[in-house]
Amino acid sequence: MNEIERRRTFAIIAHPDAGKTSLTEKLLLFGGQIQVAGAVKSNKIKKTATSDWMDIEKQRGISVTTSVMEFDYNDYKINILDTPGHQDFAEDTYRTLTAVDSVIIVVDGAKGVETQTRKLMEVCRMRNTPVIIFVNKMDREGKDPFDLLDELEAELKIQVRPLSWPINQGQRFKGVYNIYEQNLNLFTPDKQKVTEKVEVDINSNQLEEHVGTADAEKLRTDLELIDGVYPEFDVQEYLDGKTAPVFFGSALNNFGVKELLDCFVQIAPSPRPTKAEERVVMPEEPKFSGFIFKITANIDPNHRSCIAFCKVCSGKFVRNAPYLHVRQGKTLRFSSPTQFMAQKKSTIEEAYPGDIIGLPDNGTFKIGDTLTEGEVMHFRGLPSFSPEMFKYIENADPMKTKQLNKGIEQLMDEGVAQLFVNQFNGRKIIGTVGQLQFEVIQYRLENEYNAKCRWEPVSLYKACWIESDDPQQLEAFKKRKYQYMAKDREGRDVFLADSGYVLQMAQADFEHIKFHFTSEF
């Protein structure tokens, strides 16, 4: 129970460029995992961010894949998942949300709530995941903090309660008052190290000496206003996903990040029960169970290996113990399970609920697989969505056919995109959620598998999985649409509709056929 209580597993989510990766760097700095923080985009700071380890991430300054990092902080064990913000990789982020107990949403103080933030909040609301909001970039001119709080309530449809308050902003930004602990911390901005802070009593004249008369007056009136307008902070309401505490700061200059971390470890939930199809699994059960929520190829460029990320749901995972792979019905032993610091990893002997472990994978795992100590059960809720963009993938170098096929297979296992084989002409079609995916696939095939591919246009509207209780009608449908029928990697029938109109007509003409838009049915 002690091990479960001290675990905190959470994801950092936001719109692109709000500062997720910079915030992750600063949290690692406080956890003592790194001595100097790297920067995502900077000419002077040569060290790149720890969590952006793929070459393509370093070149573009964006996160392409979710990275997992863990560290100890004041007796707590913290597992962070830094997710991509770009909507082309949203699926990776949705999957990650199934493996965490709480979420920190980063909002840009100047831009306010953006589209991607709204979508991610909806996913959190579906699961009642507790949310903390960090308003970043207070060192730039932005909106008034009170207006920002109103916008958060209206856009994210959740009650908010500020637990820290900025003293001015932009060029005149002086620090943050910690409402949760009722003390004032003034910092000197430093992008790469943790700096000393000055403690000030808010009701004494010291305040005026440090921040000036005008700012001191404004801070006192703001705090009175906050207590008048917002209800007292209630931890239970936060845990139920009804109230979101709000922190202000600047991740780049290290303002307000420690307040966020100190409050977070105290109030955030330890691992929670997980719903399986058969029953609800409690973390304190003695027997081990867990599920695979992500697969990554080539974390180490020198070894062409895949790693499956497994979230421990209950019991204790022990190295070399026999575990049942439910889908295949096989018993497996893992001799080198690992824990992560983005790309660096170390072998572990045991892991507890809430931990995320990497298991070496030679094609045995698919996303959503369950591991147990013998009980047959299935963890659900890892959707893959129907893709919206399609291209034929062609081999650009006939000498490298084998490498290309292996590369496509491993990248599809990761769930970066979906592969369909057209039954009419046998050509391979790749379907993705966004344009950027095609560039990432092409780049990674060339750099990690030494294979070249070429894209050719194909005009399709949507892919849908079809099934029917009436075999004759299914056959008739396949005959009529044989040019548009394909198989996915599991060999299921997929109908590739070339326009919305064609899809509607097909649904009207064939009443006994079910059309599915996610692969879970």
pTM of structure: 0.74
pLDDT tens, N- to C-terminus, the chain (521 residues): 788 888 888 888 877 777 777 787 777 777 665 544 444 443 343 444 544 445 544 454 444 455 677 778 888 888 887 666 455 555 666 777 777 888 888 888 888 887 777 877 877 887 788 999 998 888 788 788 888 888 888 888 888 888 888 887 777 777 778 777 777 777 666 555 555 566 666 666 777 777 778 877 888 888 888 888 888 888 888 888 888 899 888 887 777 788 888 888 888 888 888 888 888 888 888 888 888 887 776 555 555 567 788 888 888 888 888 898 888 888 988 888 877 654 456 777 888 888 888 888 777 887 778 888 888 888 765 556 667 789 999 988 888 889 898 888 877 877 678 889 998 888 999 988 777 778 878 888 888 788 888 889 888 888 888 888 888 888 889 888 888 899 988 888 889 888 889 888 888 888 888 888 766 54
Say which CATH number the domain at 463 has: 3.30.70.3280
| Pick from 434, 450, 447: nearest CA to 395 | 450
Do 261 and 293 belong together in one domain?
no
The secondary element (H helix, E strand) that includes residue 235 is helix 235-239
Which residue shows structure tokens 């369909």?
420
Handedness of CA 504, 505, 508, 513 (dihedral sign): negative
Do 355 and 423 belong together in one domain?
no
How far apart are the C-alpha atoms of 27 and 9, rounded to whole Å?
A: 13
Q: Is residue 77 part of a domain?
A: no
Q: Which of the listed residues 241, 267, 293 is the one where a domain comes to its end? A: 267
Do 295 and 164 belong together in one domain?
no
Task: For residue 325, give its domain range.
Answer: 274-372
Do 240 and 340 belong together in one domain?
no
- Residues whose CB is less than 8 angstroms from the CB of residue 99 and which lie 6 or more positions away in sequence, other chains included: 9, 81, 291, 293, 294, 309, 311, 356
Condensed to tens digits (0 to 9), the pLDDT of residues 382-412 reads 556 667 789 999 988 888 889 898 888 877 8
Q: Three-state secondary structure along 394-456?
A: EECCHHHHHHHHHHHHHHHHCCCCEEEEECCCCCEEEEECCHHHHHHHHHHHHHHHCCCEEEE
Q: Is residue 379 part of a domain?
A: no
Q: Which of the listed residues 338, 372, 406 is the one where a domain comes to its end? A: 372
Paired residues of 409 in beta bridges: none
Domain count, the chain: 3
| Pick from 411, 420, 337, 328: nearest CA to 368 | 328
Q: Is residue 211 part of a domain?
A: yes
Say which CATH number the domain at 260 has: 3.40.50.300
Condensed to tens digits (0 to 9), the pLDDT of residues 144-165 reads 888 888 888 888 888 888 888 8
Q: Is residue 384 part of a domain?
A: no
